[in-house]
Amino acid sequence: MPEASFDYIVVGAGAAGCVLANRLTEDARVRVLLLEAGGRDDAMEVRIPAAFNKLFKTARDWAYETTPQAGCAERRLFWPRGKMLGGSTSLNAQMYVRGHRADYDAWAAGGARGWGFDDVRRYFDRAEHTLSIERLRDTNETTHAFLEAAHACGLPTPAGRHDGGQEGAGHTLVTQRRGRRWSAADAYLRPALKRRNLTVLTGVQATRVCVEQRRATGVAYVHDGATRTARARREVILAAGALNSPHLLMVSGIGPAGALTRLGIAVVHDLPGVGENLQDHLAAAVVVGCPQPVSLVAAESLANLARFLLLRRGMLTSNVAEACAFLKTRAELPAPDLEMIFAPAPFIDHGFVKPAGHGTTIGAVLLQPRSRGAVTLRSADPLVLPDVDPRYLSDAGGDDVRTLITGVHLARRLFGAQPFARYCGEEIEPGAGVKTDRELEEFVRAQAETLYHPVGTCRMGNGRDAVVASDLGVHGVAALRVVDASVMPAIIRGHTMAPTIMIAEKAADLIRGRGTS
């Protein structure tokens, strides 16, 4: 069978891949191939916002697990990642948060030229004209009480979100349209499918970037049990995410030479930073019972299902994380280091634990972790998932765990505020018997979980540990770029969907010669 040939090959149909498929095919003269390892996004659980955790550990989830975490009681933490059209935008909690101006200005100051907040603001604006970003249609009454409690505790209403500010407590903005999820596949990919110059293959596992004389020339992949190769006349673009993009680079011989050689992989280019610099947001949750039968525990009733199907209203339109607050734990900090997320449900262990009754949750999120981890190969076989070691709570000074303990104290203060009194019952987690900071540290290490935001493993910038330049081209290999959350030099103070889409919007301009870096 002859090799197919395209101008651009994009690996991964997640947030970034969907954007690239749309923007690159706006030019009718180019042909684009989009490869996606997962399948379609047509499950009902994708469409129903509140049902996102029903997709966890299914065929639509990569279902990663970390290595045992010394800082988290030797636990293996579950990391869901979307494996379908739309990627993780098809199974996330739909929270749209730009992050803080300081995040992007720090990228630029660290060597990512052209990625300061004023440089990227227009790409956020462009994305927001394409996506559907809304307030929730039917906010739970406990969420309103949480926001009143937050204001009673001195947290203001956020101002300046579009100017790079975010401090304070407010309703969550979500990627929904009239009460149903509106993913990157909905916003970007489906309109582009009408174009004859876009080819999309699902159920395809990319196995190798083909490189000839230090230039990417195509992608080898497995489809229906057969290995095939597609040629790229212009570029290969990896948009497979912070775990799968570095994995594909390394099995292709692009990465730390010593580690590749030990596995028998021929070194194409020694690039030590591939897979390093892994960062994620860790969260510790306080869960309380609710004496009023109003929480999302009732969301799966037949009445609520009918209301969703007929009217796109009711509890099933909830994204579960209905409100959030960003704050500084110390006055001298330049920007928030803690996020408090409110869920009108007892959300324990990714929602796998069946609630015994009504309840609510406040999750304290470590926004600026000092701990750094890595993605490393377990095998030269590209079909074997890599090891994921975030090294949670491993920072030498212990700042990460202290910040989370502060967050637990604040969550208890919010639950104890007068506006929340009629909804606050017995504390389920950590429990009233857990009082001292030492006891809270044990709780955090035993119970904290990911907020699903891995980034940084193909760091953008200069120096020996950088993987891509400011134009997102891989150092030392021509015609190869990485465009996804892995290029973030440092994790943002927010949620990673919005900046990932922004990155892809800017990358499309860079690829087409319309932008600067």
Residues labelled catalytic = 453
278 neighbors 352 (Cβ within 8 angstroms): no
Query: How distant is the alpha carbon of residue 237 from its chain centre?
Result: 19
Torsion from C-alpha of 508, 490, 56, 290, nearest 10 degrees:
-120
What gap in Å lies between CA 334 and CA 102, rounded to an integer? 8
The HSE-up count of residue 390 (CA atoms within 13 Å, CB side) is 31
Q: Between vectors from CA 513 to CA 216 and to CA 254, what angle results, nearest 5°?
A: 25
The DSSP 8-state label assigned to residue 77 in this structure reads: P
270 neighbors 256 (Cβ within 8 angstroms): yes
What gap in Å lies between CA 305 and CA 48, rounded to an integer? 9
Helix (H) or strand (E) holding 206: strand 204-212
The HSE-up count of residue 86 (CA atoms within 13 Å, CB side) is 23
Torsion from C-alpha of 22, 26, 29, 34, nearest 10 degrees:
0
516 neighbors 114 (Cβ within 8 angstroms): yes
How far apart, in Å, are the Cα atoms of 112 and each of 186, 193, 469, 488?
30, 33, 7, 9
The DSSP 8-state label assigned to residue 189 in this structure reads: I
Outline where 193-345 has alpha helix (H): 241-251, 257-262, 302-311
Residues, the chain: 517
Q: Where are the beta strands (DSSP E) in 12-106?
A: 32-36, 64-65, 78-79
